[in-house]
Amino acid sequence: MNVIFQPNRLINDLFLQRFCARDVTLWANKDAEKEEVAHRLDWLDAAHSGNKTIQLAEALLDGLVSEGFTHTVVLGMGGSSLAPEVFSEVFQNPEHKRKNRLELSILDTTDPKQILEKRKALPIDKTLFIVSSKSGGTSEVNALEAYFWDELEKSGVEKPGSHFIAITDPGTSLEKKGKEKGYRQVIQANPNVGGRYSALIEFGLVPAVLMGIEGNRLLAQAKKMEISYTNPQAAATNPGVMLGLFLAEAYLTSKDKLTIIADPELELIGSWIEQLIAESSGKNGKGLLPIDLEPLHDSEFYGKDRVFVYFSINDRHQAFIEKLTQSGHPTITFKLIDPYDLGAEFLRWEIAIAIACALIGVNAFDQPNVQLSKTITQQMIADIKKHSGLIEQEPIFRFDNIDIYGEKDRLENTHKIADLLKKFLSQSKPGDFVAINAFVTRNASCFSGLQELRESIANKTNLASTLGFGPRFLHSTGQLHKGGKNNGYYLIITADREVDIKIPGEGMSFGTLQKAQAIGDMRALQQQNRRVLRLHFKKGKFNPAFLAKLVA
């Protein structure tokens, strides 16, 4: 760890005593908020409370394997999908897993092309679908469940319910649906843990065990990171507490951009941390901005508003980190020796973000602005069903291959897309950032093209950038976008569909739902007075690398 400040000035014995006593007033003052926090702290005990869940999942796995199941797919969003996604990447080597296991993958999108690609890759008669939703009412998850249930029926599966399990809080609509439709199992999750803190409870553990991970070994590693609640003074040296102090001190000294760097085998850890940080801290005009998978630059490129964390398994980027350190940038390296170290990392970061949020003065356990986009989208969906189609505003500019939506008074009239984009970005100042919110297929080609756009933006503006695929990011960085500091420039990217799929029983398609979510996100940003443009590619014209050339 390279620290250029003294974070211990931020806490005293009283703070640690209050944290160890789970004093909700560290995060909330209003009665309703204190009540919410009081029901969100059981993640602190997750390392000791998961044995029953592991036993349940192991029995489920043995039964599935004996029946010939080979694959499982998590249908979830945000906290329900990100930890399982990390497991699926980090535990690829069979030597780290049990002999009995299923091949696990994640589907957290409404993009029709991505859904069709997943359907094509699955032996559906040998696949278990994990319908994972804390609230039980997540619209994307419900739509995916309806689609795959229909696909099972079309494939001649007599009892589709035997191909589904649900993970949800007690008493939700999903629990009821699972029982009514004859799901193989309905698993009640601990309701006193929020979604983004759920990596080591049912939402993370069940998929982990089904893909062959030894759950008890994972929790044993997590126990090494636990706080000594009976000894507040000893808690001061807990690695999670120390990281929380580091992040809080960084924020309070105007280093509010946490840049995540990882060796290729660990890159998806960044997506999990991105949600944890953004959704926990990004509110009341405050928040740490996580910068994940940003193209690397010379150390001189980065401003004084940055701190860096590096997740290493083979020291791929060690020389780069050393250059950053030599240039005076605060850096921390986390070395994972064994994949099971993930258990400790999950708990370390959960503790750290809870500590940091308390110190910067925000409630780590709510997400007040996430609902805004959802509400607007729900209203739009109701209008779609009423009017048999999506009604949207007229674009402010039309070009041959792209239509532009936004507030025209922020821009000068122009006949060139390049001039328009440059004008939009030229309004920025040091310390701002650019968020690319792409409601398109999340695949290697699109990712590569949008990374080129990030590179061009960096070269042109010297600003940090983020990249999120919609609707996935709405359950992650979406909170910070609307509730954090108003220093972002938002480029929403949409495209006409080459293919589409109807959502069974909904009277609309996945493509329409995804477009409604994009427009809902834009309207929510505008309501918060954010600077936003939507760039909509016409049919057959989608080319993300084209934008990179325009900005360059």
Check residue 474 and give its pLDDT: 94
Check residue 208 and give its pLDDT: 98
- pTM for this entry: 0.95
Q: Indicate if the pLDDT at residue 4 is higher than 50.
A: no
Highest mean pLDDT among 5-9, 128-132, 366-370: 128-132
Arithmetic mean of pLDDT, 247-258: 96
Listing DSSP states for 313-339 in one string gives SS-TTHHHHHHHHHTT--EEEEE-SSG
Highest mean pLDDT among 222-236, 321-335, 372-386: 321-335
Counting residues of the chain whose pLDDT is more than 90, the rounded percentage is: 85
Question: How many CB atoms are closer than 10 A to CB 272?
Answer: 26
> Tens digit of pLDDT for each residue in 152-175?
999 999 999 999 999 999 999 999
**Cα–Cα distance, 480 to 281 (Å, whole number):** 7
Min mean pLDDT across 233-242, 405-414, 443-452 is at 405-414
Both tokens assigned to 188? 């009640």
Q: Which of 469 and 237 is assigned the larger pLDDT?
A: 469
Q: Indicate if the pLDDT at residue 527 is higher than 50.
A: yes
> Tens digit of pLDDT for each residue in 307-366?
999 999 999 999 999 999 999 999 999 999 999 999 999 999 999 999 999 999 999 999
Tell me which H or E stretch contains 62: helix 51-66
Q: Indicate if the pLDDT at residue 500 is higher than 70.
A: yes
> Tens digit of pLDDT for each residue in 60-97?
999 999 999 999 999 999 999 999 999 999 999 999 98
Highest mean pLDDT among 57-61, 396-400, 401-405: 57-61
Both tokens assigned to 381? 């969906």
* Domain spans of the chain, in order of start: 7-24+224-360, 45-222, 370-551
Whether 45-222 and 370-551 share one fold: the answer is: yes
* Architecture of the domain delimited by 45-222: 3-Layer(aba) Sandwich (3.40)
Q: Alpha-carbon torsion 515, 519, 524, 528, what sign?
A: positive
Q: Domain 7-24+224-360, CATH 3.20.20.150 — does that match?
A: no
Report the topology of domain 370-551: Rossmann fold (3.40.50)
Arithmetic mean of pLDDT, 119-125: 98
Confidence band of 8 (pLDDT split at 50, 70, 90): low
The reply to whether omega before 544 is within 30° of 0 (cis) is no
Q: Indicate if the pLDDT at residue 426 is higher than 80.
A: yes
Q: What long-range pairs does 91-100 form, CB within 8 A, spacing at least 24?
A: 91/208, 91/211, 91/212, 91/213, 91/339, 92/265, 93/339, 94/212, 96/213, 96/338, 96/339, 96/340, 97/211, 97/212, 97/213, 97/214, 98/212, 98/213, 98/214, 99/212, 100/61, 100/62, 100/65, 100/212
**Cα–Cα distance, 421 to 550 (Å, whole number):** 8
Check residue 31 and give its pLDDT: 94
